[in-house]
Structure formats: structure tokens, C-alpha cells
Amino acid sequence: MRHKIIAGNWKMHGSREQNSLLVSSIAAASHALSHVRLVLFPPFVYLDHVARLITQTPVGLGAQNVSQYDCGAYTGEIAASMLRDCGCDYVIVGHSERRQLFNETSASVAQKVLAALNAGLTPILCVGEMLTERERGLTESVVAAQLQSVVECVGAANVARIVVAYEPVWAIGTGKAATPEQVEVVHAFIRAFLASVDRVHGESVSILYGGSVKPDNAASFFARPCVDGVLIGGASLSAPDFLAIAHAT
């Protein structure tokens, strides 16, 4: 089923003190936002802390990354089952910062999606093109390849269990969001791709937009029926901004 998801990716930001302030404001406002699903993605080491702060609230919890391995001698890695154990329901997989800065490949991203699904997590699979790729008219082929490797790994029957976030790399952290028209074109392409994999369940996948979403542009994205939610980076570190975006739904 398609849900309105407002996801806050904190990236490598926060402290116990800052998290307490941020989450208490969001938690207090969350009961009035029951028509949307607010999900916070703190750094791993704060998952447990944030899990306690959101107890008795509708706010959801997710991680920013996950290992493709189940358990074992993988120093520094975090297994999907551990994320479940810490109260996560979601995990971001294949964020462009992971792909570009930490050399994640389509193959490892697909394995991570599979590991997340096997543990009962909902993966938020990030896809999107770089500026040079857009300029060369390659947006759809880049996004298709990113989706295809995941579908091949997890199987068509599991597609309905994934959330897709379209995040053009050139829009992330730049203050230069894609236009709603650009988002609509790529979301329609992603929807058609998913429907070609599984005609019935492809329709039920939530497709988010991410990249410089702010309070002043959020409503323009939500005005498009193809946008099921947003993945927010910078603006998710401010409770008023994060909540203003959620209210814009």
C-alpha cells in the first residue's frame, strides 16, 4: 500500500543533547500528523537513544545503511537483524553518498536490499542520476539499471515490499531541488518500470522524492499525485522545518 512517508535522513549529524531536543519537538507534534508516516534516520550509535525518545509516539525509526551480510567476521558492519533488534522498521539503501564516497556498487546495494527484506525491514532504495548523466539524456537508463539489479536480486515477488526514493544526485545538499515537472517525469518512469516487473504490486510501491526538499518547496512536490513522500536531508535537522514539510502534505 502506498503511504505518505516523510523521512528525515540525519546523515552524520547529531549528539545526545541535540537529538533529545529535535526528537521531543517532532514527537510532540506527531500525533496531529497521523495521516503521514514520520520516520527518523539517525546515525547507528543513536538508534537506541532515538528509539527510546519515540516510544508511545507514531514516529518510526530507520537506519542509514546496513550490511549485506547476516552476521559474522565483518568488522565495523551492522546486520539487518541488529537494526530490527534496535527498533528499526526502515533502512536507507544505496544513498548516492554511499555509492559515490564509499564505493557501493549496484550489486552490493541489491544484496543490502535483500538482507533488509529478509530481516523484515522496509528498504528505502535510493536511485538517481548525476548531472552529467542527465545532461547526456541518460537519466532513465541510469535509474532503470539501478532498479533492475535490485529486482534481479530480490525477485519480482518482493518488489512491493520496497520503497523507492528518486534522488537526483545534483539536487542533494545543493539547495537546487529538481522541479516538480522533472520529478513527475522520472516518477512516472519508475512507476512504469515497477509495473512492468509486477503489474499489480508495482502500483502499490511508494515512490519518494529527495534532494533539497525545504518548507518552501515541499507543497509543490506533494501537489503531484505521483509523489508519495519525501526523503529530507538538511531540513530534517530542524524540527520546525521537518514539521513544516510534513504539514505541507
> Interface with ligand PGA includes 229 (CB under 6 A)?
no
> Interface with ligand PGA includes 43 (CB under 6 A)?
no
Full 3-state SS string of the chain: CCCCEEEEECCCCCCHHHHHHHHHHHHHHHHHHCCCEEEEECCHHHHHHHHHHCCCCCCEEEECCCCCCCCCCCCCCCCHHHHHHCCCCEEEECCHHHHHHCCCCHHHHHHHHHHHHHCCCEEEEEECCCHHHHHCCCHHHHHHHHHHHHHHHHCHHHHHHCEEEECCHHHCCCCCCCCHHHHHHHHHHHHHHHHHHCCCHHHHCCEEEECCCCHHHHHHHHCCCCCCEEEECHHHHCHHHHHHHHHCC
Separation CA 249–CA 16 (nearest Å): 29
Binding region for ligand PGA (CB under 6 A) out of 60-68, 143-151, 154-162, 227-235: 227-235
- Give the Cβ contact number of residue 41 at 10 Å: 27
> Interface with ligand PGA includes 245 (CB under 6 A)?
no
Region for 120 from its dihedrals, namely left if φ exceeds 0, alpha if ψ lies in -120 to 50, beta otherwise: left
User: What is the residue type of 91?
Assistant: V
Of 104, 129, 167, 187, which residue is the catalytic one?
167
Q: Is 247 a catalytic residue?
A: no
Identity of the residue, 193 or 221, whose beta carbon is nearer to ligand PGA in the bound complex: 221
Binding mask 159-198 for ligand PGA (x = CB under 6 A): --------x----xx-------------------------
> Interface with ligand PGA includes 232 (CB under 6 A)?
yes
Binding region for ligand PGA (CB under 6 A) out of 55-63, 64-72, 146-154, 228-236: 228-236
Binding region for ligand PGA (CB under 6 A) out of 60-68, 108-116, 145-153, 208-216: 208-216
Identity of the residue, 79 or 170, whose beta carbon is nearer to ligand PGA in the bound complex: 170
Identity of the residue, 202 or 233, whose beta carbon is nearer to ligand PGA in the bound complex: 233
Q: Is 95 a catalytic residue?
A: yes
Binding region for ligand PGA (CB under 6 A) out of 70-78, 150-158, 199-207, 226-234: 226-234
Identity of the residue, 73 or 101, whose beta carbon is nearer to ligand PGA in the bound complex: 101
> Interface with ligand PGA includes 65 (CB under 6 A)?
no
> Interface with ligand PGA includes 231 (CB under 6 A)?
yes
Chain contacts with ligand PGA (rule: CB under 6 A):
9, 167, 172-173, 210-213, 231-235
Supply the residues annotated as catalytic.
95, 167
